[in-house]
Structures are given as structure tokens and as C-alpha cells.
Structure 1
């Protein structure tokens, strides 16, 4: 009875619910066309979405779209870069047609002119793609991990190298049957259409920490694992070398160094002036709306990328994905193709962090593509943690140190900690190479290759070499035979012996060298970080001013020299040296030596006492020496004779101090010799790179000319980067000097615009070398005849001079990359042309392997 008064209300409620259920059960469908409000032209790639949802579509080439949802949305929105967004009302649960007109955003664009017929010229003005890339550039600093106060993550770095398209039947041939286990391990999925024979793999797992204030970063290596080719091959050096071929690509940095060349990023500050940009698609990935932005170099000869980047439209303008390719038309050796794919993942705070970097390179030998090498470097990033501080020791400890424990992690460790999986082919590389280097035939092959390339023949605990010093010749010694060798770490990792003996058939004198070294860290003395003490004695010849490594003067190729070359010294050197390098790449060395110089050939030591000439048989000095060196982030490839430094953007500082101690062990002079050297490898973008050397020195005290600074001259026909190539040996002597040496490589910047040179892939070089200096009166033998007289010809013509009030200057222009390996320079000497036996012009050559 009491329910009757509620019946109308219940009926109304039931009807309302029924009405809502019908509405919810219907699909909302919106069709339409989007046009430019000014010219009525259809707009493609416009994003159509229901506000507040993750549902979105793009208009087609005719500007048409269809968007639908089961939910009762009552608005639809249209947005496009360069236009004001439009939101229109719709009826939920119905199909309807609407036409949308977009008005250009006057803050970004004025209008877009569309012409048919002739293709319009590309321009940055009023270009929505350029407007978008400028937004990306404007916001890139906040999208880098370093924008956080603290950030940390794990990094898994894997590198592989493989031979391409090795014949499948090779392992069936008689000679290669023993290597069948290696040759049949093929990868046919990584590179479509080609089979890969992997022969190298290296893995590294690291933890990275960063703090903004005070700024400090640190990388701790948690595990490292790589193939082992045996003691005759430098496995660590190979790894470092490969990683320098294709380093990490930071899309937010202005540039990236790949295969020793600097590539400008498509979102660098200057990118709009060097790249063309096009909006080519609008997509939705993981419920995120992205703009696909394609780019290509304005000048196809410039060292730039081409490809696509995907940009978020959430107000951060972050890169969500990038596909970068090296333009095939650029002047680059040995690389047929290279692709870099970068993937980013969204963090809970809405920011995007790099999750994967995959670099693939085809180092093709032949144009047919039937052979060559294929390299892949994949870096995976996970476990990002931001704005969570760690103790100060986390950021300030030494980084990059790889202990023996880190190098010998268990298989269980790698299975549990790899951030990416190995496929079956990659996993087999470890066991295959391990089996390979144990085979006698492989060891013999590597042994022969080591002799040909490095110059040493190994006998296990001892090796003979270097081979290029076995035979040489010069005017003083005539034909010179030499034989030497050294112990290897197979004998001991702490004790090393090195020796050689030589005989000159003209002067009929024996020369020899003997050194003993003790390594304090039980590592090879040729590896970083060095920590050893060495005692040595050397009796041999030397050209004054020719400062080569002390066991390599007898190089057969250096025997060929121009002009007069008969002024030598016989040197007796007793030395003790201590060398210590630190993980932060600061190093110092302490040395002590007794040095006796005896003139040879046409060289002489003569002074005057009371107006009477006296010939001096030899000069003895006892010296203490200190060297301080700082080379931040320096890395090496370790060879058999010496280690090779990889060039990077950081300067190298070297300071030397030598003190002569009169009266000690027969030493005749007190003096102080100070020298500062600064080297910088400077990347110059489109203009290539330059190697810049700054050097200055000063001698304090009175000394004869053999103890003065004698500039490094070059009388060979090879172009020497550090020598004055048109200066004669012993031409100058100074007690103070400053010098600058700039060697510029343009990487084809000019030649690439000349059709013939462009086809030949020649590249331009230029250099300038200037030396300032002089001689104080106290060291001038004309003022102090008790000092040694400068050498003269028999007719009295001077041979040695001091610099005057003008610098010595020489410069060159040249062509490199001739046949990919040859550099030829035309060298010009600008002044001091009145000196005897000097040349104003010269042609010098140099063999070099560059990318």
C-alpha cells in the first residue's frame, strides 16, 4: 500500500537506466574531412581523437578520417603541427559526418602555399616540420637523463663481428674440414638475405651512476666476457678498437663519432640549417601519439645521417624512437652500410629514457657485397632510478676498473643478469673460438701473421724482433745488421728482459742494448695502467734532434734520406726509469741517467780556451728527470711494439723537467730543462677535424749546443706529422722556444663538390708549423767561445743557427685517401731560405689507413 506512491519514481528510474544501457550499447562513429581553412585544401596526417581517451586516427591523403568507439564520447578533436587544435561536439552512440577546418597558428606559421607542377624548393620558412624540430631542440636538455638531480641504471653492452656470405661448402673442402665446427655456425636471421659467420663476441654489464651537483658520473663494471683468441692476439685491444668504430650514439648530443668521423645529430642546435625535415606520418604507439619526422642532408656529401625520428606531442617533444642511417654518398672508406636504431621507454614520471641502442655496420670489401665483415653493437638499458641520492662514495670512486673476478663471472651469473638474450649462434662463438686457438694449425697461422704485421716471431717465452730493424744503412755505419728480442708474459708477468746487438760494417763497431724491467702490478709492462721500474744500458748511434723511441732508430725505411746526412752521435746511456699510471689517466715517470755523447761522421765538438781551439772527445751529463702527464678518458690498442692511442676530444697535457747535475758521475754541466706540451684532436663538424700541437720549452743555465733544444727535423721523403719536413738535421739550436703545429683534414669538404674528385673520393689536407725561439747570450758560442762552436762545413759555411726575431714557418697542402691509403703533401718553407742546403719546396708521402 505504501509502495504505490513510489511506483512513478521506480518507473522513471527503470526507463532512465534502460535508456542509458541502450546508449552505451551503441557505437559512436564519426566520419569527415579535414581541410585548411584558408585554401580549402585537404590535410593529411591530421590526428583525430576523442578528448580524454587513448583512441586516435590520422587523416589520409584526401584529408578523410573515420573514428569509432563503444563509449559515449561527446567531443572529437583535430590537431596538427602548425595549426590550432579544434574540438567539436558530437552525439554519443550515433554515426555522423562532420567537416573540420583548421586555422594556421600564427605563432608558428603564416600560411602554406601549395602549387602543382614544378616541385617547390625546400625552405625552412613556414615549414611545420622545421617548427617541430625546433621544439625538439628547445626541449632536448630536459629530456636527457642528466636533467635529473640523480639517475642510475644498468647497461648491457654486446658486440659481435661476423664474416658475410662465406661459402656454405667451404667446410667441405679438405683444407677447412678441421674447422667445420666453426664454419658451420651460421646466422641467417640478423641480416636478411645474407648469412653471417660470427667469430667475435664481447659482453659487458655495468651499473651507471650520475649526480648533477656537484656533477659527477661513474660506471662500475659488474661483469665482462669475451672470446679468447690466445696469447698472441690482444683480445682487450680488439674490443676497444671495435667500440671506437661505432661508439654510443646520444641523439640529444650535438654530434656522435662513428668510424672515426663526427656525424652531426638531426636534433643538434644547427640541424635545421644542414638537414631537410618532413612530417611523414602520425602514429599511436603504446597509447602515445607520435609524429614521424623524416630527415635527409641538404648536401648529400656532408657527413650527416638520414632517417626518421618519432616525436611525442605531450608537451615534452621527446624522441620516442630513432632510425639513423649513414648516407651512402658521403666520402667514407670501408663501410658499405651502417644503421643505428634507438628505442626509448616511458618512465612512470612521463619522461622517456633510452632503452635500447642497436648499431649494425657492413664493412664490405667488394662492391658486389659478396664478402666483408658485419659488426653489431647492441646496448640495453634497464632499471632506471631517478632522483634517489646515493652516498658520495658511489659517485667519486674509480670507474671502469675490471678485476679478474669481473672477467671470470660464472655462466649462472650471465644467465641471471643479461639484460638481453644470446641466440644459439652467438652462444656457440665462445666454445668455437676457445677450440680454435688450441689448434696447432691456427697457432702457426697467427704466429706468421704476427711476424708480418707486428714484426715479432714468438717462441713462447721469448720473441725475436722487430723485423724492420734487422737491416738498415747510413753514411757513418754503412750496412748495419741488428738482431734483438724480448721475453713475454709466458715467462713471467713481473720480470721482463729486452736486448739487441748490432754491427756497422763501415765504422766496424758493435752496438747493443740491454734492459731489465720489474712490473709491480704483475701485468704486462705494455698494458694500461703501467707500474714498473726499468734499468737499461744502450750504446748506439743517433742523429741529433731525431727523437725516436730508443729501441727503434734502426728502421730500414728511415735509411732513405735527402741531402747531407753524416752528422751523428755515438751515445752511451745508463738509465733507471720508474713509470706509474693511474686509472684516472694521470701518470708520472721518474728517471735518472748518465749520458755520454761522442761525435761521429763530420760532427765535432770544438771550443776555444785563450783563443786556442780544443777538440773534445765526448760530453758527459748526469740527469734527473720527471714527467707528469694527464690524458683524460684515454684508451689504447695494444700492439706488439708499442701501444696505439685512440684519438678523442679531450686534450692531453705533458710536462717534462730535466735537471743536469754537475760533478755527479763525471757530469760537466748544471742546468734545468722545462717543457710543456698540449695536444688536442678537434672535431670540426662538416669541416673535418684538426690535430693541434702546442709546445714550449726553456733551458735555464749555460750549456753547449748538444744539450740545447734541437728541433725535430725530417730529411726522409715521408711526411712526418710531428717533424719539420723541410728543416735539415741540426739546423737550429735554441734555449727557449714556442711552437704550434696544426694538421687539418677537411674530409672532402671541397673535393666532394668537384665531380671528378668526388668520384675518386680524394680528400684535402693542409698544415702549418711555426717555431719561435732563440738563444740567450749566455749560450751563444760567438759570445762565449768556451762553449762548443756550432758545426760548420769545411769551407766555413754555417750548419747550425739560432732562431732570430722571426719564427721558422712551413706549411703544406695535400691530398689524402688516394687508393684509400696514400697521402701526398706539397710542402713549402716560407723563410730562412738563405741557410745552406735547404729546399723551399718538397713533396712528401705518407701511408695511412683511415675511414
Structure 2
């Protein structure tokens, strides 16, 4: 979800500006005209400063007038530059080496000592006292939170202004300004304000945030975009060892592992708000790692952070983000406790990290106020759900915002609201917005009916040949309480028409009680996954094997009707009950058979008829969603744990149903961020079928006969290579995030990422189930019961930023018919 939403950011436009009293930019060099990265730049007699980037470049501004600039770096003489104008761009500053450091190569390179370094002594004091600051010091806490999100189109030049894309929208370029962080020109394009009340209990380990007001400039249906950015800029604690942004773990400059990845320099000391503080500059020891550069001010008695700046280096192995800048400010309570009062986060989304490349700024400003402590609330308070969508909250009057804002909007931010009201009436803008929406969602909107998804229109498989699928859904807003979806498909080889239709209704929004029903008559690849349900909209690989390894003729014609109830009694915990009836038969009887012997009459049957009732429990702690209607969009895909338990019962006799059985299935998926060592993804599946059932109702170990990487499948298994009634499966995959490749000179600049994986499955198949099979197929396939089947793989990701390739190796069962010992799969995607 988060990756395709990123594309929409590059289709939106707008306007707004800030001004400053003093602006400076330029480069810092040594006497040999070599750039000096991570040099310290500060306005004299102030705490306003910055650090040069890897190329020695800097930009800085202040709301105050300043007459001089101080430039310093380890091994060089400090230099004072007089400023004769309020705005001084493209400065070239040359630093002279200190006499004592001319022969000290290690100092010249900027490496700081890990011994006898006063900055490290201060850092150790911060570690000792980090749990004694902030809200963690109290049993309970509460505060008011004001959050402002803004998007800006940056690097505005004449080429962009005169582009055909903006024909009819030239008025938006009447005023532009420069960013106080980067010095780039920009146009604000979107603004959202939110006010909430936050509650926390450190004893119960509970947290709850209640929205009290929300307002945005732009289109009314912006919940997905807002939620996407909020997830990217999720809350973080600078005292933690690792800070998570964009699915990646960055080493905090306050981390206990920081000494091995950062250089630290004690630069200055001064009073800030009557508190004596030390200033420490930090910058990375190596390139291509997920680190920051910047500085922080720390109090000399509590060892709490007063101010901190963090900026991601351009060499960091992260895609689509050219710059990332963070500021945090803390205030003092009762003369000793430091509490965060302001958090500013700015990122520059761009296709390229080149200096003049165009992109979109994403900015978040968060203000905290009205702290209260040790006011205990019952645990039920934290567990109870708040009505997720209150129209009054999303339509607050202007008088509410005038009183509620902790920081007044400046005149340019106010213009954003006025501009977008005008922009929404411009046909050229509507056209541009619609193109972005189609690319992001895959649907074409026809006033309440969406045609699509376009990406599923064409497919191919052995039975149907080329397949055409046309469908759509009702869609008025993201918060629709009901939705009807349907499609029709036709195979040019089997010359048969297939279809599917479903409908669902949100009965109660607070408990999320949903009623749904549907029917699907189509061709399906049974065993697409081990853990599955009789969902009418379930996954099928039948039409996705456009490029396949070997022949796959073992497809099943399924006619499935289902009715279900689902409720969410607690956030991210759902309970579902469903009833279904399905018929199963081979899609081509000459190529594949599901024949079985009736256990009572011993007669041969060619079609399975089965009625089933199922109850399932799903718990997804940490899942974040957007939308308040019958459908919700998950905005942090792959970033939360999932536990799923399904118990289903086959009922014999109803609607001529053939079998009576019980089946239990369990799935546990968990991503693990392992600090600076990357990310491990694990998936455990367990299941057992009690009772005698034929091939069509057994658990097929999911193979993959395509060249596409598909989650929780075995890339070297053919479909139906293993069939079980009892199974245990484990998948492990680790993404090192470029940690190894970044240390290899020839590979470092490519920002590639290394991946390794291992997967295995054990299973059994009873003699009674084998005896029911009249095709003889189960006599040959069997189950991996003597020893678990396993595979391992190695892969390279981030090829051209969008492609990944994996090389797979079979670990055993080499003598299976048509066994594949080696295979290659790949996938495309937008990943940070």
C-alpha cells in the first residue's frame, strides 16, 4: 500500500511560503580545494547551526539578523566569516589545517578517537540517565498533541513552470520561496491539521490517542494519503538504540552502539533557557550505512537532551528519499525533567538523489502541551474502541481551530486552503489528479462505479489459454458502508465464461460488524497457500502464470457460494463465522482427476460437493489501517505480526454434501527488525484434518511454477508435488539491507541489498485418505513425512531500485518426478 501511494505524491500541486532574515549557503574546502564534509557551521553568538554534507555543501537560515558565521572542523583552524548582506549564496570557504595536525592523516579524514574523547564521556552519561527523562518517568501521563502535515513540490524552475502539465494552472507559481533546511524553492501543495488527546500508562504498557479535530486543504478523500505519511513518520524515541523510518532501522546518535558507527566531537557549551548545555557534533564513520549527521545540546546535570538535529546522509542505502531532516526540542519541568515540546520532520521524496532533481517535501510538525501525570485510568479505557469516524470531528468550525492550534498558521499556510479551493475547479488539475489515482489504485472511476482492477485484465494458464477479465465495484467514497464487486472472465482455449460476484455491508461501525455474501464460478489453482478460507474473493494462481516453469494442468473448476459474519470486538482482533457450499471438479478431465470412491457405497464420484461451517480468529497487533467504511486499507503492509486460527467443520448430507470432517489451521507471521543487521521475516503454519477426505479437500503444500516470487510458497516445488492432511511449515527470510555490500568498494555505489532464506515443511497423509483416491494420484505424490522437505535461497535486491532476483536450491527429495533442483524467481516493487 505505502509504495504505490508514494507515486501519487508526484501528481499534486499547490502554494505557500516562509521568509527569513538571514540566509547563507555555499561550500567548505581545504587548502587543496578538496571538500570538507561534516564541518560545523553556526551563526556567531547563537545556537543555530548546521553541518556540511558529504560534498562540503551547506545551507542555513535564521529569523534573526546575524553579522558573522563560524566554520570549524577537527584538524582545521576555526574561521569567522563576516556577513555583509542578509542573503549570501554560493559562498566558498577555505579552511587551513592546524599546524599540529598537518601530518595526522586520521584527523584530516575526520575520524575521532574512541579513547580520551570528552564527547564520549558525555554520551555515556546520557546512556546512564536516559530512562530518567520524559514521560517514562511517570506511572501515567496525558498530553495534548497538535500535528500539521504538509506536502511541497520542490526545486521550482522555469522548465517546470513552462511545462505543458501545468497549462491552465499557471497562477499557482505567482509566489515561491526557499526551504529553511535545504535552500530549495518549493510550493506547498497540501496541508492537514489534527488535534488529539493522548493517554499512556507505563505500568499497564498501554497507550491511546483520541482525535478531537481534523482539517485538510485539498480533496475531502485524503485519509489514505494522511495515514500513509503518518505511518512513515511514526513516533520515535531518540534515546532508543535504533530509530525506524521508511521500514528501516537507523542507528540513533544516542545509541549504545553509536561509538562504532559515529564520530563525536565536543564543539561548544552555552546557556539554553538558563540551563548549561554542551554541544556535540556527530557524523558517520562509514558511507552507505543507515546513519545521520547533526548535533545535539545536552544538559550538564540531568544529561537530558535539550535540542537535537538529525539529517540522513545522501550515501545512506535508502530509495526515493533524497533528504531526511529532524529537529526536536525539549522543555524543563520542575527544574529537572525534560519533556518533548516540538518535533519537526522533513523528507524529500525524489526519483534521484542528484542535487538538482525535483521532488516532493513531506513535512510533519508536532507540538506537545498540557502535560498531566499520575492520573490513573482503568484498563478498559485503553481497550475500548472510539467511534473511528465522527463527522463533527472532521468538520470543525474555524472558531474551533483558532482556539485549538498550539501554533498559528502563517499567512502563506492560510493561502493553501484558499488555493486548493480554487485549484479543485481547474480541469487541468482534475485531469492530472485522476491519472495519479488510476495508477495508484488500478481502478477507473465512473461516478460511483470503479472499473478494474486494470492489472488483472489479461492472464494466461494451461487450461484457459489467454484469459480476459473485466470487472468493477461500487465506490462512492472510501467510507462506504456497503460495496458490491463483480467480474466476468473468458478463456480463449477452453471457450468458457467464468464470473464472480460479492457484496458486503457494515452493520455497525464501532464494532465493525460486517455481513457479506457471494458466489464465484471460476478456474482455480488449489493449494495456492496452506492456510486458507472459503473466501469468495480468495487468492488464485490460475490466471497469474503468464510465464511458467513446466506444464501445469492440475487446475480445478470451483463453484463457491459463501455467507459470513465478521466482528472486531477489540482493535485489530476480529472474529469471523462463515458458511459455504462448493463443488470441485477438474478444469480438464483429460489432464487431471479428482475422482474418489464414496466411503459408504464405494461408487466412483467425479465431482466433490461440500458444505462447511468455519470460525476464525485473527489478531494483528500493530496493524495500521485507514478508512471507516466496510473496506479498510492497510498502510503498513508487512510491518506487523499476524496470528490466524481457523476451525472448520464439513457437514455431510446438507445440499448433498459428501464428507464430514474437522480441520484446524494456525498461522503466525512476524517481522523482526534486528537493529543495524537488517530485517528477518518469519512465517509458521500448522494444520490438521480430522476425518477421511479426498484429494480436493486435503492440504496441498504450495508450490510455485511461476518466475514470480510469491509469499509462503516453495519456489522449487511443482503444484501437487506434496499433499498432506497434517502439516507444519516454516519460512525464514533475512534482508541485510546492504550491510555486507556496503563494505565492498565495487558494489558500494550500487546500493544493492543481500537476502538469504530457508524454508521447510513436514507433513503426513493417512492410509484412509489415500484409499479414497480413485485416480491413483495420491499413490505417487505422498507427503514429506520421513524427513522435512527444505529449500534455501540467496538473493540480491534493490537492482535499479525496483527489482529483486532470488536463486533457489533444493535441499532434498531430488528423486521426486520432475524435481527441480535449482530455480530463479524475481519481483518488482517500490521499496524504501
Fold conserved between structures, TM > 0.5: yes
- 1:371 aligns to 2:358 (yes or no): yes
Deviation at 1:230, TM superposition (A): 5.4
1:621 aligned residue: 610
Alignment counterpart, residue 782 of structure 2, candidates 796, 801, 805: 801
Structure 2 matches for 1:36-55, cutoff 5 A?
Answer: none
Structure 2 matches for 1:502-517, cutoff 5 A?
Answer: 502-517=489-504
Give the SS at the match of 2:587: strand
Alignment counterpart, residue 727 of structure 2, candidates 737, 740, 749: 737
Question: Could you tell me whether the CA contact under 8 Å between 2:679 and 2:736 is conserved in 1?
Answer: yes
1:337 aligned residue: 323
Deviation at 1:365, TM superposition (A): 3.1
Query: After superposition, what is the alpha-carbon deviation per residue over 1:554-594, rounded to whole angstroms, capped at 9, x for unaligned?
Result: 88653321112111111110110222235521112211100
Cα distance in 2 for partners of 1:562, 1:770 equals 21
Give the SS at the match of 1:240: helix
1:636 aligned residue: 625
Deviates more, 1:491-500 or 1:284-293: 491-500
Cα distance in 1 for partners of 2:599, 2:407 equals 84
Deviation at 1:402, TM superposition (A): 4.6
Question: Could you tell me whether the CA contact under 8 Å between 1:826 and 1:843 is conserved in 2?
Answer: yes
Alignment counterpart, residue 524 of structure 2, candidates 516, 523, 542: 542
1:684 aligned residue: 674
1:221 aligned residue: 211
Give the SS at the match of 2:824: strand
Cα distance in 1 for partners of 2:190, 2:258 equals 36
Question: Could you tell me whether the CA contact under 8 Å between 1:211 and 1:395 is conserved in 2?
Answer: no
1:824 aligned residue: 805
Cα distance in 2 for partners of 1:174, 1:260 equals 36
1:269 aligned residue: 256
Give the SS at the match of 2:128: helix
- 1:845 aligns to 2:826 (yes or no): yes
* Shift in CA distance, 142/230, structure 1 to aligned 2, threshold 3 Å: closer
* Shift in CA distance, 207/613, structure 1 to aligned 2, threshold 3 Å: closer
Structure 2 matches for 1:218-297, cutoff 5 A?
Answer: 218-229=208-219, 235-297=222-284
Question: Could you tell me whether the CA contact under 8 Å between 2:458 and 2:468 is conserved in 1?
Answer: yes
Question: Could you tell me whether the CA contact under 8 Å between 2:671 and 2:682 is conserved in 1?
Answer: yes
2:458 aligned residue: 471
Deviation at 1:748, TM superposition (A): 0.6
Cα distance in 1 for partners of 2:566, 2:242 equals 36
Cα distance in 1 for partners of 2:340, 2:799 equals 40
* Shift in CA distance, 192/447, structure 1 to aligned 2, threshold 3 Å: closer
Deviates more, 1:244-253 or 1:720-729: 244-253
* Shift in CA distance, 373/123, structure 1 to aligned 2, threshold 3 Å: same
Alignment counterpart, residue 382 of structure 1, candidates 361, 364, 369: 369
Structure with larger Rg: 1
- 1:716 aligns to 2:716 (yes or no): no
* Shift in CA distance, 790/273, structure 1 to aligned 2, threshold 3 Å: farther
TM-score, normalisation: structure 1:
0.79
Query: After superposition, what is the alpha-carbon deviation per residue over 1:508-545, rounded to whole angstroms, capped at 9, x for unaligned?
Result: 322112223222147xxxxx985321121111111121
Structure 2 matches for 1:598-609, cutoff 5 A?
Answer: 598-601=585-588, 602-607=591-596
Cα distance in 1 for partners of 2:136, 2:420 equals 40
Alignment counterpart, residue 186 of structure 2, candidates 196, 215, 228: 196
- Unpaired runs of at least 5, structure 1: 1-113, 523-527, 793-797
Cα distance in 1 for partners of 2:527, 2:608 equals 16
Would you say how many aligned residue pairs link Structure 1 and Structure 2? 720
Give the SS at the match of 2:545: helix
Deviation at 1:800, TM superposition (A): 2.6
Question: Could you tell me whether the CA contact under 8 Å between 2:652 and 2:660 is conserved in 1?
Answer: yes
Structure 2 matches for 1:83-122, cutoff 5 A?
Answer: 117-118=103-104, 119=106, 122=112
Query: After superposition, what is the alpha-carbon deviation per residue over 1:599-632, rounded to whole angstroms, capped at 9, x for unaligned?
Result: 1221113346899996522001100111111112
Question: Could you tell me whether the CA contact under 8 Å between 2:151 and 2:363 is conserved in 1?
Answer: yes
Cα distance in 1 for partners of 2:672, 2:719 equals 30
Question: Could you tell me whether the CA contact under 8 Å between 2:737 and 2:753 is conserved in 1?
Answer: yes
Cα distance in 1 for partners of 2:587, 2:640 equals 42
Question: Could you tell me whether the CA contact under 8 Å between 1:713 and 1:729 is conserved in 2?
Answer: yes
- 1:324 aligns to 2:313 (yes or no): no
Deviates more, 1:488-497 or 1:598-607: 488-497
Cα distance in 2 for partners of 1:648, 1:116 equals 51
- 1:357 aligns to 2:343 (yes or no): yes
* Shift in CA distance, 694/756, structure 1 to aligned 2, threshold 3 Å: same
1:23 aligned residue: none
Deviation at 1:641, TM superposition (A): 10
Cα distance in 1 for partners of 2:602, 2:774 equals 10
Alignment counterpart, residue 793 of structure 2, candidates 789, 801, 812: 812
Question: Could you tell me whether the CA contact under 8 Å between 2:287 and 2:315 is conserved in 1?
Answer: yes
Deviation at 1:419, TM superposition (A): 1.0
Give the RMSD, CA atoms, in angstroms.
3.0
Give the SS at the match of 2:683: strand
Cα distance in 2 for partners of 1:404, 1:560 equals 48
Of structures 1 and 2, the one with the larger relative CO (CA 8 A, separation 6+) is: 2
Deviation at 1:662, TM superposition (A): 1.1
* Shift in CA distance, 425/186, structure 1 to aligned 2, threshold 3 Å: farther
Give the SS at the match of 1:577: strand
Deviation at 1:825, TM superposition (A): 0.8
Alignment counterpart, residue 532 of structure 1, candidates 514, 522, 529: 514
Structure 2 matches for 1:63-82, cutoff 5 A?
Answer: none
2:5 aligned residue: none
- 1:658 aligns to 2:628 (yes or no): no
TM-score, normalisation: structure 2:
0.81
Question: Could you tell me whether the CA contact under 8 Å between 1:220 and 1:401 is conserved in 2?
Answer: no
Question: Could you tell me whether the CA contact under 8 Å between 2:292 and 2:311 is conserved in 1?
Answer: yes
1:525 aligned residue: none
Give the SS at the match of 1:140: helix
Give the SS at the match of 2:120: helix
Give the SS at the match of 1:559: coil
- Unpaired runs of at least 5, structure 2: 1-99
* Shift in CA distance, 246/593, structure 1 to aligned 2, threshold 3 Å: same
* Shift in CA distance, 424/790, structure 1 to aligned 2, threshold 3 Å: farther
Cα distance in 2 for partners of 1:360, 1:819 equals 25
